[in-house]
Structure 1
Amino acid sequence: MELQFGGTDALIILGAYAVLMIVIGWIAGRGKKLGKSVGEYYLAGRNLGFITLFFTLYATQYSGNTIVGYAPTAYREGFSWLQSIPFMTAIIGVYLIFAPRLYVIAKRAKFVTPTDWISYRFESKRVTIVAILLMLWGLGNYLLEQLVAIGHAVSGLTAGAIPYGYAVIGFIIVMLIYEWLGGMRAVAVTDVLQGIILLVGIFVVLIGALALAGGSLSGVSETIAATEPQKIGVPDLQTNINWISMILLAGIGAAVYPHAVQRIYSAKSERTLKRSFARMAWMPPITTGLVLVVGIICIVLYPGMDTWQSEQVIGILANDIAAMHPFYYWMMIIFFGGIVGAIISTADSVLLSFSSMVSHDIYGKYINPNATDERKVKVGKFVGIVVVFLLLWIAWNPPGTLYQIFVLKFELLIQVAPCFLLGLYWKRLRATPVFWGMVIGATIAGVMTLTGNNTLYGIHGGIIGLIANFVVCVIGSLMMPVSEDYKKHIHTKTSIHDNGVQM
């Protein structure tokens, strides 16, 4: 019997996921003072254990858009998208440079947002404000990426029965309800379920795609070599440079995601944090590596797609896999439902971080310093509604592919990296050079982006800006006199020796 993927069964699964997430949000928030404590609402009480922290980090780094967005990129670029594995691995390496040390200080000082660290370390309003703006830019782009991915995923799952635009609207409403009810705790609990579904589903999709392609990866490579040799050939020098640039851009940029930094704050202990990162180091080849293979197989299965058509390739593949056998049919429906759920969960996490920065950093520090936690949470919820519907208007006609949106968010966000990578270790780093470094780096990256020249000899504008940023920070700090009192002051702030912090 030939099965048509989607239809009533897909709608039932999507409806079940929507209800399940709302129920989880209600259960997670029940009995907790979410509306009265920013630490409870935005950081899950700073008490995430190993399993929950691992999966919420996994969902933050990968999400459903890894499947929906990376496979089409592999389809268009071919084997050169192999770079997706090392740049995902690089993220873990960058985390390990600063996360354990930041955790200890954050636990002691009770940080809520990433810019709490920046305010604490540099004691400069202008440095904090620039960092807030850069981080909000990154979060806004990341949320847009998730909204676009939701539309593609639901449209593909239902074979077009639910159009792209209506899918985005429907699940935005679910997301807002879910966030209001459960906060960060609900996001983290849901991430465990979504992470397991994604991991199992990736293997099932790979097996199904191989079956459709004849069961031989060597045969797939031979077909590509004969029909589209540019997708299998040795990359030229500029492509190789672009690889290195992308590894640095994504590796550093994703590690300083505001919502990723807040997960560092949320860990139950430093040991829990390190154990989670150790397991995360195995995930790039298992996740992006397998997605790369799926995208490569699709080159043979669906030749000649243009850019917009290729963005739908996972939905098309899932339909064909579902038609093979009832087992594949139900696995694809559950898997795609899981993708939608994971995308929503990530979008919710990003929106939560965005609203926390506006309510805690902008409203709580500069507009109404005397505001209670309850007032800050209410302001954050209102801001979340405004932001998500503004991005909805943009997502209705997305400005580019998921990969283009993915790159765009890093160009400016990465300019806050010296605040963490240098600020945690180098006590001579001063606020004035940090401010001008961020401004100059963001200006370079912004001008290159706005003029359409995102790369120079394969190097992304964000990386060129970051190099200039680091130079200004280092040279500027070395030129400024440093007193012994200042050294002692910074040493006290950045020291990790504190008996009150659980290691």
Structure 2
Amino acid sequence: MSEDLAFGGWSGILIMAAYGLIMLGIGVVTYLRNKNIKASNANYYLGGKGLGVMVLFFTFYATQYSGNTIIGYAPQGYRLGFMWLQSVTFMILVIVGYMIFAPRLYALSKKYNFVTPTDWLNKRFKNKGITILGAFLMLYGLGNYLLEQLVAVGQGVSGLTGNTIPYQYVVIFFILIMLTYSWLGGMKSVAYTDTMQGVALLFGVFILLIGSITYFGGLPAATDYMEAFAPEKLGVPDLSGSVGWFSMLFLVTIGAAIYPHAIQRIFSAKSEKTLKNSMVGMAWMPFVTTGVVLLVGIIGMNVFPGLGTMESEQLVGMMANGIASENLFFYWAMVLLFGGIIAAIISTADSVLLSFSSVVSRDLYGRYINPKSTEEKQIKVGKIVGIIATFLLLYIAWNPPATLFDIFVLKFEVLIQIAPAFILGLYWKKLHTKSVFVGMVVGTIVAATFTFAGLEPLGVLSGLWGLAINTIIVVIGSLLLQKEEFYFDEELESVSEAV
């Protein structure tokens, strides 16, 4: 019963409201401090390209470790056991993915004043088909990711409050908070709220692990339970499981690194040194975040045995409630975790929404629909379309279509099809434009068809089949046609090589 739970009743409602109002307050203060600055795409969507190391690190962190990490990964650990150690591995590899292209792309963005990832595609290929298709693939990935966050915030708070606060009310409340401060302050509001959210999340997750070990027996009790009742969760995966493991690692390494909102954080860095220092800090975060969440999920097997797939989606909230009931210290620690989880989810949702709006306003409306529009008008169009898209996704989130992990994978299957154009385009001067466009189209069709038909030949994820065909078309087409279509100028060439 909800009244027996630590966060049941009015205490849960007050905690939720307090964190929402803090985020709103940060947005209002940011707006008041910057209201006299001229409205421009770079100022609104990239914070004037002046984010320092600390703010850039936390906006990367709070965006990367979102609702799917805290709320979604623990249940996945609960369902898979130690095989879900791959979550730590692929979060490490995401940083490797960034470093493949981030420094060089940053140099290009400074020279050519990029605001969105599509600006790079447009500059590199000067092809309407590639630019528009790339924009729509990004919008698909961003829309899917925003849906994931809307589902996560409802699942998280419902679990934490024992369903005292209805799922739908939670989602609506935080959508309104998010839309308000994002509308007012843009990237600066988002980045500053991310800093608060990241600190709360880190502290709360560690206290959750300590409480789980203290009151629920920790790993020894969990492994004893698995040995007795689910030995397959202790063992090494079979051949099929290993193929799935490595295909997931590859999918996330590339897919997460080319998140449009993550790329815009690259563009937002104050300097190349700032960007690299932030990435150094991010390299440690998989161990202290994803690794901790994995342990919580595994410990949960012994605490709440026999949960079904959708029931386990509320595991983190259920464990936090149990720990908070033990004593006053853990109660307030779980209050912080409660807010940190909500904040992490909203910090990703606001980043995704901001990026979604920028692609609509600059790449589609400003570049093709109304090229003569002012930047102020483009921003306004992006805000309005973003709000409409959010409420359309809210309709879907009202009754979640799948688990958070399923939604997490789905967005990568199609988004990853921009990778050959995006990454190879940085290093291969003779990349052929028409081959790139055909590869993107065919790869997208194959990935989408396989995904929605549930096809994973040889155990390899659908998106990777699309990416493989996409890359083959791009490489063979470029080698056969051997047409030089774009060169960096000498100044940029020297900058890129130095990087």
TM range (shorter): over 0.9
Q: Displacement, 1:64?
A: 3.5
> Which residue of structure 2 aligns with residue 158 of structure 1?
161
Report the CA distance shift for 1:135/1:494 in structure 2 as closer, same or farther (over 3 A). farther
Q: Supply the AA of the counterpart residue of 1:212.
A: Y
Q: Displacement, 1:35?
A: 7.2
Q: Displacement, 1:458?
A: 1.7
> Which residue of structure 1 aligns with residue 204 of structure 2?
201
Q: Supply the AA of the counterpart residue of 2:478.
A: S
The answer to whether residue 55 in structure 2 is matched with residue 52 in structure 1 is yes
CA contact (8 A) 2:5 2:162 kept: no
> Which residue of structure 2 aligns with residue 285 of structure 1?
287
1:401-435, Cα deviation, whole Å (9 max, x unpaired): 00000000000000101122200011011211110
Q: Which one of 118, 124, 127 corresponds to residue 121 of structure 1?
A: 124
In structure 2, C-alpha distance between the alignment counterparts of 1:14 and 1:157, rounded to whole Å = 10
Report the CA distance shift for 1:15/1:35 in structure 2 as closer, same or farther (over 3 A). farther
> Which residue of structure 1 aligns with residue 232 of structure 2?
230
Q: Which one of 150, 162, 168 corresponds to residue 147 of structure 1?
A: 150
Q: Displacement, 1:213?
A: 2.3
The answer to whether residue 196 in structure 2 is matched with residue 173 in structure 1 is no
Superposed, 1:3-402 pairs within 5 Å as 4-32=6-34, 33=36, 36-215=39-218, 217-402=219-404
**Runs of at least 5 residues in structure 1 that lack an aligned partner in the other structure:** none
Range with bigger deviation, 390-399 or 3-12? 3-12
1:162 match: secondary structure: coil
Range with bigger deviation, 110-119 or 461-470? 461-470
1:225 match: secondary structure: helix
CA contact (8 A) 2:9 2:161 kept: yes
CA contact (8 A) 2:67 2:148 kept: no
In structure 2, C-alpha distance between the alignment counterparts of 1:191 and 1:160, rounded to whole Å = 27
CA contact (8 A) 1:424 1:494 kept: no
1:236-268, Cα deviation, whole Å (9 max, x unpaired): 001001010000111100100000000000000
In structure 2, C-alpha distance between the alignment counterparts of 1:470 and 1:233, rounded to whole Å = 35
> Which residue of structure 2 aligns with residue 438 of structure 1?
440
In structure 2, C-alpha distance between the alignment counterparts of 1:214 and 1:429, rounded to whole Å = 57
Q: Which one of 404, 407, 411 corresponds to residue 405 of structure 1?
A: 407
> Which residue of structure 1 aligns with residue 476 of structure 2?
475
In structure 2, C-alpha distance between the alignment counterparts of 1:64 and 1:34, rounded to whole Å = 33
Report the CA distance shift for 1:34/1:18 in structure 2 as closer, same or farther (over 3 A). farther
1:35-58, Cα deviation, whole Å (9 max, x unpaired): 721111100000000000011111
In structure 1, C-alpha distance between the alignment counterparts of 2:483 and 2:141, rounded to whole Å = 33
CA contact (8 A) 2:39 2:376 kept: yes
2:80 match: secondary structure: helix
CA contact (8 A) 1:416 1:438 kept: yes
> Which residue of structure 2 aligns with residue 429 of structure 1?
431
The answer to whether residue 489 in structure 2 is matched with residue 492 in structure 1 is yes
Q: Displacement, 1:62?
A: 0.8
In structure 1, C-alpha distance between the alignment counterparts of 2:158 and 2:394, rounded to whole Å = 16
Q: Supply the AA of the counterpart residue of 2:301.
A: I
**Runs of at least 5 residues in structure 2 that lack an aligned partner in the other structure:** none
Q: Supply the AA of the counterpart residue of 2:462.
A: G
Q: Displacement, 1:34?
A: 6.5
Q: Supply the AA of the counterpart residue of 1:125.
A: K
In structure 2, C-alpha distance between the alignment counterparts of 1:44 and 1:325, rounded to whole Å = 42
Q: Displacement, 1:159?
A: 2.1
1:170 match: secondary structure: helix
TM-score (norm: length of structure 1): 0.95
CA contact (8 A) 2:194 2:344 kept: yes
CA contact (8 A) 1:176 1:385 kept: yes
Q: Displacement, 1:494?
A: 9.1
In structure 2, C-alpha distance between the alignment counterparts of 1:61 and 1:354, rounded to whole Å = 16
1:168 match: secondary structure: helix
CA contact (8 A) 2:64 2:348 kept: no
In structure 1, C-alpha distance between the alignment counterparts of 2:363 and 2:154, rounded to whole Å = 31
Q: Supply the AA of the counterpart residue of 1:127.
A: I
Q: Supply the AA of the counterpart residue of 2:149.
A: Q
Report the CA distance shift for 1:244/1:467 in structure 2 as closer, same or farther (over 3 A). same
In structure 2, C-alpha distance between the alignment counterparts of 1:168 and 1:310, rounded to whole Å = 19
CA contact (8 A) 1:7 1:159 kept: no
The answer to whether residue 466 in structure 2 is matched with residue 465 in structure 1 is yes
Range with bigger deviation, 95-104 or 62-71? 62-71
In structure 2, C-alpha distance between the alignment counterparts of 1:276 and 1:220, rounded to whole Å = 36
1:369 match: secondary structure: coil
In structure 2, C-alpha distance between the alignment counterparts of 1:389 and 1:195, rounded to whole Å = 26
> Which residue of structure 2 aligns with residue 451 of structure 1?
453
Identity of aligned residues (%): 54
CA contact (8 A) 2:68 2:405 kept: no
Q: Displacement, 1:214?
A: 2.4
CA contact (8 A) 1:3 1:329 kept: no
Q: Displacement, 1:3?
A: 6.7
1:111 match: secondary structure: coil
In structure 1, C-alpha distance between the alignment counterparts of 2:305 and 2:345, rounded to whole Å = 28
The answer to whether residue 426 in structure 2 is matched with residue 418 in structure 1 is no
2:488 match: secondary structure: helix
- RMSD between superposed Cα atoms in Å: 1.7
How many aligned positions are there?
494
Report the CA distance shift for 1:402/1:35 in structure 2 as closer, same or farther (over 3 A). farther
CA contact (8 A) 1:13 1:334 kept: no
In structure 1, C-alpha distance between the alignment counterparts of 2:225 and 2:108, rounded to whole Å = 55
Q: Displacement, 1:496?
A: 4.5
Range with bigger deviation, 151-160 or 198-207? 151-160
1:428 match: secondary structure: coil
In structure 1, C-alpha distance between the alignment counterparts of 2:351 and 2:217, rounded to whole Å = 40
